Chains A and B, each alone.
Chain A
């Protein structure tokens, strides 16, 4: 079943001559895990925002289970079926609310349950995402980056989504914590039958979490296919450059090539 679908989605920001996103199609089926790879300015975050309905495309449409975002009202259940987690987990949380309050608020908003019931469910969700019990009544300033990201994930799960869009979910985390969050996302995909859309510049993250990937550059797709294939045999020169640039893959310490010149100063 198709959960989320971009049909000719095109985005041009006001006052900009060049589109941030050229017309693009993307289908997210039930249980799929799709990676969107690209560097700064590739349009990957713009696409993510369009997918969750946070941005109305200038052309085309995004459909959630067949209905366009423009037809979905705030209270429709389709609204909550697509959730997002963010790159900077700290600033995506309300600084005045504890972990438990943050998740309970999302539950009350959607399910109209009692205060006590929402608190109980929030506690369960936070335990499911591995937040230590001692941390659930803390505000974001007393949580670590990894813990903030767990709260963000629990808040997303509170809406019982079908699709989770993760924009650079581990970029701001330390290596040792990054692996915990990646494993959590992987296991949630399995246990909650969640479809994942992972947006990242980190090809390692994309490879670990996704089955299919879309490589973007300057607002357009340059290559797409099975994630493993893209890694093993990239077809587009840009994809090959990206794969080759992963540090530690080739080791140019020994074979010194001249450094290329900086990019055009007036992009």
Chain B
């Protein structure tokens, strides 16, 4: 794993007088797969939009922070400058694989058009076939002649990954790439991402709500709750010895983790919405271990157990407190 390719510092996003993303920081090293985990409204998708230059289309704006990618501050790029970065150095694999495809144009023509625009090749058709091969699409020639609606969900998701690879990017941002897929297909797509990452030293940001997926493919993980990072670190460490009560609760809420007859430990209540503007830790109202100070001030991310890289934002996870 190389030096930091992307470094996001204190990113805050505002939409209509509300800050759905507050002071988010994380890093992605060259060749690393970083998972961003969060539930609906945690700010994970907005964060991805900010680092792919697609935030303005959603009416949001960055109010604080920086996102440095190989020396470029992504947050200050103009739309024209983004054309040099998006698709060429950073690609997005969207959640809904249908959204990115033109329904009335054959897949092959769309892919060739993208190749001509992003990374012209002598023979765009040959390059398109190569890309489908790269994502392990069987019968590539046949698939290139199909329309988007003729593709199965798994095929569509492979095609979207092929599109993302056109410009040979250094970073792929995949927003819930497998959420709509069956488990066996999900496994294949995750494997593919992992394989591409290993083969081409590609960095991947994988947005997901599934901790099982994190366990399978991520090197490190950033857990978000209500627009803030609550825990981050090496995936094995965060999942194996979680320090934040929210991470603990997410792990305990997975039905597969309990034995026969045991009860799931559900997290009571709901994540805060735009109207909730508490002054303390955003998770405190649902936290089984909350104390008076949790309602008073927001805890900052701090190193857990003196292990560099494992961070948690919890008053109780600090040294001297029982964090188990």
Contacts and interface: CB of A to CB of B under 8 A. Distances in A.
A84 to B, nearest CB: 21
Interface stretch (B119-127, B138-146, B313-321): B138-146
Given A179-B264, A203-B256, A260-B188, A265 B146 contact: yes
A217 B177 CA distance: 24
Interface stretch (A1-9, A107-115, A251-259): A251-259
Interface in A193-223: 201-205, 207-208
Interface in B185-213: 185-188, 190-192, 194-195, 198, 209-213
B154 interface: yes
A59 to B, nearest CB: 27
Interface string A234-267: 0000000110111111111100111111111111
Interface string B142-167: 11001000111111001000000000
A262 B270 contact: no
Contacts of A267: 152
B255 A253 contact: no
A189 to B, nearest CB: 13
B185 to A, nearest CB: 8
Interface string A154-180: 000000000000000000001111111
B17 interface: no
A84 B215 CA distance: 34
Q: From DSSP, what is the main secondary structure of chain A's interface residues? A: loop
A257 B198 CA distance: 12
A199 to B, nearest CB: 14
Nearest to A248: B212
Contacts of A244: 187
B1 interface: no
Interface residues of A, number: 48
Contact of A201 (B138, B139, B183, B263): B183
Nearest to B133: A261
B158 A262 contact: yes
Given A179-B265, A251-B215, A262-B155, A204 B183 contact: no
A252 B191 contact: yes
Contact of A205 (B187, B211, B218, B255): B255
12 contacts: A39-B183, A174-B40, A174-B209, A176-B286, A246-B212, A249-B256, A257-B191, A258-B195, A260-B136, A262-B137, A263-B138, A263-B155
Given A257-B191, A263-B152, 8 more contacts: A39-B184, A182-B264, A204-B256, A247-B186, A247-B190, A248-B214, A259-B188, A261-B137
